[in-house]
Amino acid sequence: MKFERQLKEEVSVNLTPLIDVVFLLLIFFMVTTTFTRDTNLLINLPEASGEVMDVAPDQIEVMVAQNGSYAVNGRGLVNSQLSTLMDAIEEMSAGDRSLPVIITADANTSYQSVVTVMDAVAQLGFSQLNIATSQESEEE
């Protein structure tokens, strides 16, 4: 008895559909991805130089201590809240919004404390705001 041999077909994998799917996924992810651009700003901080100004009798000086406590014209405040600070500035100004406001802050004061003073002054409507600085002494 003679049996016929069956010819085995060579098994092959068709990669064309797989490549199509990969390209479609690549295009999908490229289109749906959001690109964030981080920008780094180079900021040169200002240096203060100048002469000592005479203290005007009609001005408001807000001092900010290192721990974030406030004093308005030398009077300490009971707390560091914005409403307390605004009430003290309002009381010292007696309604005169043309008075200059000077912010004197410790070098190690948090930035938030100084911004709080600026916010209080802006909300009250003062137009003259100064930030006191000191000139560094040159050591020889």
Give the residue among 70, 73, 103, 100 at the shortest CA–CA distance from 84.
70
Alpha-carbon radius of gyration of the chain: 35
Spatial contact of 99 and 60, defined as CB atoms under 8 Å apart: yes
pLDDT score of 48: 60
List the chain domain ranges. 60-131
Check if the beta carbon of residue 55 is closer than 8 Å to that of residue 104: no
Q: How far apart are CA 34 and CA 28, in angstroms?
A: 12
Q: Which of 25-29, 42-46, 63-67, 130-134 has the lowest mean pLDDT?
A: 42-46
Alpha-carbon gap, residue 75 to 104, rounded angstroms: 14
Render the burial of 23-58: b for 16+ CB within 10 Å, e for the rest: eeeeeeeeeeeeeeeeeeeeeeeeeeeeeeeeeeee
| pTM, 2 dp | 0.55
Task: Read off the tokens for 43.
Answer: 């900021």
pLDDT at residue 45 in the model: 45
Q: In the structure, what pLDDT confidence band is assigned to residue 124 with cuts at 50, 70 and 90?
A: confident
Q: Indicate if the pLDDT at residue 84 is higher than 70.
A: yes
In this structure, the chain runs to a length of 140
Per-residue pLDDT at 22: 95
**Is residue 62 within 8 Å of residue 102, measured between CB atoms?**
yes
100 within 8 A of 60, measured Cβ to Cβ: yes
What does the pLDDT look like over 4-50, one tens digit per residue? 777 777 778 888 999 999 999 999 988 888 766 655 545 454 456 66
Of residues 69 and 47, the one with the higher pLDDT is: 69
What's the topology of domain 60-131? Answer: Nucleotidyltransferase; domain 5 (3.30.420)
pLDDT for 85-110, tens place per residue? 888 888 888 888 888 888 888 777 88
